[in-house]
Amino acid sequence: MENKYQYLTFLGLTFNVANCLSIILTALVVFFLVFFLSRKITMRPGKRQNVLEYLIDFSNGIVKSIMPGDEGKPFYFYIFVLFLFLLVSNILGLFLEIKVNGFTYTKSPTADPMVTMPLALMSLVLSHYYGAEKYGFKGYLSNFARPVGFMLPMNLIEEFTNFLTLSLRLYGNIFAGEVLIGLLVMMTQGAGLSGVFGSIAAIPLMMVWQGFSVFIGAVQAYIFATLTCVYFSRKITRE
Amino acid sequence: MANGLVIAAKATIVNGSTGDSLILIIAFILLLILLKHFAWKPVVKMMDDRQKKISDDLDGAADSRAKAEAMAAKRQAELKNSKAEAIQIVNTAKTNGEKRRDQIVSDAQTEASQVKDKAHADADQVRTEALNSARAEVGQIAIDIAESLIKKDLDTQDQQNLIDAYIKGLTNADETK
């Protein structure tokens, strides 16, 4: 793993150019994919509209599996975008890797904790927001002392562990996938195992691992969306 | 190689670029806004519309089915009614026809009997008249014969009487005329 990244510093913040480009690329891919699919919306759906409606039904299904009924309706859209964004960003690094002068410019943005953390943060902040909206600020605060008062420290710790597990699970899975792909690429270049044999052996391995990584990326996107729903539902329901 | 992994992981965390988080949040919120405006709202609206339309159509179909069934039942009832009515009409026509036939026959019979009676009466009258006229003629003939017989035997006196009587008869006849 010899990925080198270019860093920019602006207003005291450090920007990893590869991450920024990948995030923007992912956002563009998701936007234009959905934009392209959502042209010509008709009562009798065409092919594109069917695909889009299938995606929407799928993400709605994630919410419905946690929150059946109308209480899940405000989250449909957020979960839809979150799922698509994660799916594309998890898979992006598998087929697109641009290196210029030894610097990597695109990769899976979710292979960086600095990207998965704000995603988890957004989900959790939203869950707190909806909790406060439903029960009022007092009710929201009192929910930390439920079901019994001495659970308060446990509930507070849980908020942090939720945040960490949600972000680091995604980061770990995708990062591991990228690392292994990088290793396999190195093998095909003959840098790992011995020469020609290594290259030949690495090609099927790489194909298998890439396929598996697509699977992992999809599963992780699904898990992230599902857990976000779980956190939402916990905040808007009382045991 | 394992060493390299650890180093890479360390590098990613230690060199954690906080700017990426900012970029991600901005990009994600922009994505949310744009997708909501361009894709989500129209598609979800259409999906809801379609759902509404389908349920409306199903309701409408049930309604029209019920209506059609009611209509069919009504038709059936009407058909039965009209059959009964037709039978009734035919029966009425039959009875009417029979009545009429009977009437015509009886009329014809009465008329025939009247004609017959009249004919009888006429015949009787003609016979009576004929008898009467024959009687009168026979009387006349008898008188004439008697006259012609009597002319030879009558004396003048008698003849005178006869002539008087005859003249008297003539005058009477004249008077009556």
The ipTM, to two decimals, is: 0.81
Distance, in Å, from the CA atom of A140 to the CA atom of A138, rounded to the nearest integer, reads 5
CB-CB under 8 Å, A13 with B17: yes
Distance, in Å, from the CA atom of B111 to the CA atom of A20, rounded to the nearest integer, reads 126
Is B33 within 8 Å of chain A by CB? no
For tokens 């003539």, the residue is B170
CB-CB under 8 Å, A175 with B24: no
Distance, in Å, from the CA atom of A136 to the CA atom of A44, rounded to the nearest integer, reads 43
Residue B46 C-alpha, separation from nearest chain A C-alpha, in angstroms: 6
Residue A151 C-alpha, separation from nearest chain B C-alpha, in angstroms: 32
Q: Could you tell me the pLDDT band of residue B92, with boundaries at 50, 70 and 90?
A: very high
Distance, in Å, from the CA atom of A48 to the CA atom of A190, rounded to the nearest integer, reads 44
- Closest chain A residue to B28, measured at CA: A27
pLDDT of B82? 93
Is A158 within 8 Å of chain B by CB? no
Count interface pairs A-B at CB distance under 8 A: 124
pLDDT of A97? 73
CB-CB under 8 Å, B38 with A56: no
pLDDT of A91? 85
CB-CB under 8 Å, A113 with B12: yes
**Alpha helices by DSSP H, B36-155:** 41-153
Residue B52 C-alpha, separation from nearest chain A C-alpha, in angstroms: 11
Q: Which is more confident, B24 or A197? A: B24
List the structure tokens of B85.
Answer: 């009515």
Q: Could you tell me the pLDDT band of residue B1, with boundaries at 50, 70 and 90?
A: very low
Q: What is the mean pLDDT of residues A142-161?
A: 81
pLDDT tens digits, one per residue of A100-132:
776 777 778 888 888 888 888 888 888 888 888
Name the residue facing B43 among A15, A52, A85 (closest C-beta): A52
Name the residue facing A10 among B19, B25, B44 (closest C-beta): B19
pLDDT at residue B153 greater than cutoff 80? no
pLDDT tens digits, one per residue of A34-91:
888 888 777 777 788 888 888 888 888 888 888 887 777 788 888 888 898 888 888 8
CB-CB under 8 Å, A81 with B32: yes
Name the residue facing B30 among A13, A27, A119 (closest C-beta): A27
Chain B residues whose beta carbon lies within 8 Å of the beta carbon of residue A192 = 1
CA distances from B128 to B123, B134, B142 (A): 8, 9, 20
Is A18 within 8 Å of chain B by CB? no
pLDDT at residue B96 greater than cutoff 90? yes
CB-CB under 8 Å, B30 with A113: no
Name the residue facing A7 among B1, B9, B17 (closest C-beta): B17
pLDDT at residue A1 greater than cutoff 50? no
Average pLDDT, chain A: 81
Q: What is the mean pLDDT of residues B55-65?
A: 93
Q: What are the domain boundaries of chain A?
A: 7-236
Best A38, A125, A175 residue to mutate vs chain B (most B CBs within 10 Å): A38
Residue A161 C-alpha, separation from nearest chain B C-alpha, in angstroms: 18
- Closest chain A residue to B4, measured at CA: A1
Is A36 within 8 Å of chain B by CB? no
What does the buried/exposed string (b/e) look like for A180-210 if buried means 16 or more CB atoms within 10 Å of the residue's CB? bbbbbebbbeeebeeeeebbebbeeebeebb
Q: Which is more confident, B113 or A209? A: B113
In contact, A53 and A47? CB cutoff 8 Å: no
pLDDT tens digits, one per residue of A84-100:
888 888 888 777 777 77
pLDDT of B105? 93
- Provide DSSP, chain A: ---B--EEEETTEEEEHHHHHHHHHHHHHHHHHHHHHTSS--SS--HHHHHHHHHHHHHHHHHHHHS-SGGGGGGHHHHHHHHHHHHHHHHHHHH---EETTEE----GGGSHHHHHHHHHHHHHHHHHHHHHHHHHHHHHHGGG-SSGGGHHHHHHHHHHHHHHHHHHHHHHHHHHHHHHHHHHHHHTTTTTTHHHHHHHHHHHHHHHHHHHHHHHHHHHHHHHHHHHHHHHHHH---
